[in-house]
Each structure stands twice: as C-alpha cells, then as structure tokens.
C-alpha cells in the first residue's frame, strides 16, 4: 500500500473522463428534455441482488428536476420489474431529492477492471468528468431507441480511498490514514462490502469523494463532432478516426469505453483544449462559477 501513497502536489492536475449510466445495452434509458435538462439513471447491479434495505433500489431514487420517482420515465412493466431491483448508484451526484443517500462520490474497481485501471493514478485535486448516454424525451415518450453522449457533471476529488481487503478498512491514498467503511456508506461499493460481505469482502475498490466544487450540470452538454475535434484526443494524442465507425456515437462509445486521463493540465495544449471544453459547458450551464483549468 505504501507505494501508492503519493502527494497530488508532485504532479499537475489531471482530468479523467468516465462514461457512466445506462446505455443501449440496458432496458432503461436516461431522458434529456428540450431545454437540455435531464435525468440520470444509473446502471443496475450486475448480480440480481436481493440485498438488505441499506442497498438502494431504483424505487428509492427521485428525479433531480422534480421530487417524482425516477422510474416515472419507464413504462409500467419496467417499473414493476425494476422498482425493487438494487441499483448501482454510481456516480452519486448529490441529488437533493434523494435525501440521506445523496453525496458527491464515485467508486470503481481499477485493480480488477482494465477499463478503469487509469484511476489508480487519480489524486486529490484531480477532476472526474462524467459522460452519459441520454435519449430525447418529449411529450411523455422517448423520441429514439438509442441515445447520444452528453457531459453531465464532474467531481473535484477531495479524498481518494482504497479498500484494504486485509482489514476491511478504507485507507487514504495520500496520508495512509485508515477509516471504517461505515464513514463512507454513501458509496455503493462501500455498501456492497458492508452488507454483502460474502460476495464483496475481497473486492479491492477505490472511492473518490468530491468537494464543494463538484457539480451536476443543470443542462447536459452534447458531445458533438466540432467539440470533439476542438477538445478531445485519442490515447495516442491524435484526433478521433471517425471513418472507422458507422456513426459519431459509435465512435465516441469506443473512444470513451475506458476511463483515462484526457487532460494533463501541466501541458499547455491540454490546458487550452480543456479551457475550450469548459467554455462550451458554461454556454449550457451559466451557473458554473469555477474554472477547473485555473493555474
């Protein structure tokens, strides 16, 4: 564990992009409305869990824009099927209508999942930018069977914790200080370990807690080609190769499948591209007060 304890001050701020929430592989869809406002629907737990009450279900979740049940955006058949199904409530973007379970937190399993391996290097002060598939919703119904990708919010990381499977504690990746799982019960990975230990006791996960700079966007930001060309680069630093894919959304799905660092703000080019991205985000969300790319 000690090899993982490094200070964020030792390197420039990084911005990671994570593709989250339900998509075309799920039966549920996240709606985006005509004014750009939206509701975010997390994925179901992979296992068909019938866990104890502390594990949140879809029936526990409320909308962000109203206090109605989040499942109002599915038909009666799906509502019945999912109401008591355990939800993988991650990221938790502090929806005030979700009451006591709301927080700024995200968890992942970068030691077991190659998709998230880069998150091993995330540190306090870094940013987690979230991307989700949203489907246009008008007059009480979805306008399409498939969604498009939108930016929906970000966490400014305040604390990074690793699950120490040997003692069942969480350990701060910077200070090495240990804390009990109960102190971070807002995160679904923690809840799984607490209440389903026979299944998840040995899962080595990471928890990223956000601070007050974190935001759930009021309006989703469409990830259109012009924005991608101006701001995003593939893992080798090259623009996206769109011609290899049948559509923009298929292309973006491939490029964003894995969580990785998209902007190293110690590099002038990355910082400039990130400022351009933030300028677009602010066109849709004029209430955002903070320039993440400061300094």
Q: What pLDDT does residue 157 have? A: 97
**Do the domain assignments include residue 112?**
yes
Residue 221 lies in a domain: yes
Does a structural domain hold residue 159?
A: yes
Residues shown for the chain: 295
Q: How far is CA 140 from the centre of its chain?
A: 26
pLDDT confidence of residue 144: 85
The verdict on residue 293 lying in a domain is: no
222 in a domain, yes or no? yes
**Domain range spanning residue 45?**
2-284
Rounded Cα–Cα distance for residues 195 and 255 (Å) = 35
Identify which of 286, 220, 280 has the alpha carbon closest to the alpha carbon of residue 33: 220
Q: How far apart are CA 86 and CA 13, in angstroms?
A: 35
Residue 263 included in any domain: yes
Give how many domains the chain has, as a whole number.
Answer: 1
For each successive 10 residues of the chain (295 residues), what is the average pLDDT? 44 94 93 97 81 80 96 90 92 94 95 92 97 95 91 97 94 94 92 86 94 96 96 92 93 94 96 95 86 53
pLDDT in the model for residue 96: 95
Q: Are strands 127-138 and 215-222 parallel, antiparallel or unpaired?
A: unpaired
Residues 215, 220, 225, 230, CA torsion sign: negative
- The secondary element (H helix, E strand) that includes residue 200 is helix 197-200
Is 260 domain-assigned? Answer: yes
Determine which helix (DSSP H) or strand (DSSP E) holds 194, and give its type and residue range: helix 188-195
């Amino acid at each position: 564990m000690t090899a993982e304890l490094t200070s964020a001050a030792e390197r420039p701020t990084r911005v990671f992009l994570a593709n989250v929430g339900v998509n075309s592989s799920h039966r549920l869809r996240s709606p985006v409305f005509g004014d750009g406002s939206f509701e975010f629907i997390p994925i179901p737990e992979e296992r068909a869990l019938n866990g104890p009450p502390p594990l949140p279900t879809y029936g526990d979740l409320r909308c962000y824009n109203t206090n109605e049940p989040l499942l109002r955006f599915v038909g009666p058949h799906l509502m019945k099927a999912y109401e008591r199904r355990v939800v993988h409530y991650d990221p938790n973007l502090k929806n005030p209508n979700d009451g006591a379970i709301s927080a700024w937190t995200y968890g992942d399993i970068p030691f077991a999942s190659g998709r998230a391996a880069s998150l091993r290097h995330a540190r306090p002060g870094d940013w987690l930018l979230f991307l989700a598939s949203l489907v246009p919703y008008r007059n009480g119904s979805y306008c399409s069977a498939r969604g498009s990708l939108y930016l929906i919010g970000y966490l400014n990381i305040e604390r990074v914790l690793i699950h120490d499977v040997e003692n069942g504690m969480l350990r701060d990746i910077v200070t090495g200080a240990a804390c009990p799982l109960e102190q971070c019960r807002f995160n679904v990975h923690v809840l799984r370990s607490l209440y389903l230990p026979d299944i998840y006791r040995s899962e080595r996960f990471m928890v990223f807690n956000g601070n007050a700079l974190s935001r759930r966007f009021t309006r989703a930001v469409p990830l259109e080609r012009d924005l991608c060309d101006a701001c995003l680069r593939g893992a080798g630093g090259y623009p996206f190769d769109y011609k290899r894919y049948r559509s923009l959304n298929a292309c973006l799905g491939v490029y964003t499948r894995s969580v990785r660092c998209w902007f190293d703000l110690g590099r002038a080019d990355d910082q400039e591209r990130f400022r351009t991205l933030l300028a677009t985000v602010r066109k849709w969300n004029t209430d955002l007060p903070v320039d993440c790319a400061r300094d």
